[in-house]
Amino acid sequence: MENGNVAMRLDPTACSTVNFMACEAPILVVVVDTEAEFDWTKPVSRRSNSVSTVRQQQQVHRVFSRYGVRPTYVLDYPVSSQVVGYQPIRELYEAGLCEIGAHLQPWDTPPFEEAETEANSYAGNLPPALEREKLARLSDKIAETIGRRPRIYKAGRYGFGPATPRILAELGYEVDLSILPLTDLRTSSGPDYRAIDAKPFWFGECPHLLEVPMSVGYLGALSSCGPKLYGFLNSDWGKRIHLPGIFARLHLLDRITLTPEGVPFEEHCRLTKALMRRGHRVFSFTYHSPSLAPGNTPYVRTEADLRVFLRRIEQYLDFFFGALGGRALTPLELRDFILARQDRTRTTARSTCEGHTL
């Protein structure tokens, strides 16, 4: 794939943003990238396939259950193909405590026909036939080991590509979670999402797929310049002189993602309130499964870090469902909710037109 603008490939004229009224309660979708443990400081490798941390997801379910949250576990190939990985998820799924989806990490999903390069770590950069075959094998493996064919997809490393919409439709997917809004990943051979914001939208040919992007936003006096300016601030040169931190402390520009990984609860609240003022009503709260065990991700190195991490999850859920009066849905439930809402709107409009005719 030529490294261009994925936002243009999704063609805004062919996408339909899902808008909500200001009076509607916010909706929270919780997504867990459920994957093998690997060293985040090194290039990805097919040899990294330990999935021992998956069992640790159980410890946060007491919090999820208290708030009626059914997280969506998007599974990579090592998790869905090893008993120690898929068994804990299958137990949660069979108990009705979660939803499942597919998480295609090209480097650890057969067939292994591509070179192990950074560009090829984005599934959307692969030849379409290879991207399709990898996702088909992952989908089949999840159906075999979990007992449910996935209809929710999230590309590893946010690697959505020009062939992805067609592939998802052919394989029976209904919801995609791959987009990292307002972010340019081209410096690592990834896609450019600067033209896409965090609101859900429909895309692809009929039947349309629902995109639920990650919740990302820019805050501060220069937030309207965020996608372009942040790339400059976050360059190697900018990071050497600490420009992102300086601009954030001066309340000029701050990029915040809705995740407990490295983001304090206070920032979650700031982002959520700011996005709500901009008309957002759907929020995606995400993390990686290895973060539930110390020593696997940069965000949780110690037991103390883990306690902070779990506390952030609990604090945000309490804020979202308490102070904001929000509700929890899985991505598939959200899709059904939006479709039902659209049907009601069309019915009302048709009744109104018929009334005027009479």
Residues 203-250 have pLDDT tens digits of 988 668 999 999 999 999 998 888 889 888 888 888 899 998 898 888
Identify the pLDDT of residue 5: 46
257 three-class SS: strand
- Note the CATH architecture for domain 24-215+258-357: Alpha-Beta Barrel (3.20)
Helix (H) or strand (E) holding 328: strand 327-328
What is the token pair recorded at 157? 């490393």
Question: What's the Cα-to-Cα distance from 205 to each of 16, 168, 210, 319, 329, rounded to whole Å?
Answer: 12, 11, 11, 38, 25
Residues 38 and 75: their CA atoms lie apart, in Å, by: 15
Residue 220: strand, helix, or coil: coil
200, 204, 209, 213 alpha-carbon torsion, rounded to 10°: -30
Average pLDDT estimate for 144-156:
98
Is the Cβ–Cβ distance between 25 and 334 less than 8 Å? no
User: Mean pLDDT of all residues in the chain?
Assistant: 92
Cis link prior to 111 (omega < 30° from 0)? yes
pLDDT at 342: 85
Contact 211, 201 (CB under 8 A): yes
As a whole number, mean pLDDT of residues 274-296 equals 97
Q: Which of 167-176, 234-243, 253-262 has the lowest mean pLDDT?
A: 234-243
Provide the pLDDT confidence category of residue 11 given band limits of 50, 70 and 90: low
Query: 99 near 332, Cβ under 8 Å?
Result: yes
| Residue found by looking up tokens 């040919």 in the block | 205
Q: What is the pLDDT of residues 110-140, one digit of tens each?
A: 999 999 999 999 999 999 999 999 999 999 9
Is 96 within 8 Å of 67 (Cβ atoms)?
Answer: no
Lowest mean pLDDT among 26-35, 239-248, 259-268: 239-248
User: Bigger pLDDT: 77 or 237?
Assistant: 77
Rg (CA), the chain: 20
Give the pLDDT band (50/70/90) at residue 142.
very high
d(CA 115, CA 124): 15
Provide the CB-side half-sphere exposure for 327 (13 A, CA): 9
Delimit the CATH 3.20.20.370 region(s) of the chain: 24-215+258-357
Parallel/antiparallel/unpaired status of strands 152-155 and 99-104: parallel
Q: What is the residue whose two structure tokens read 């896409």?
A: 196
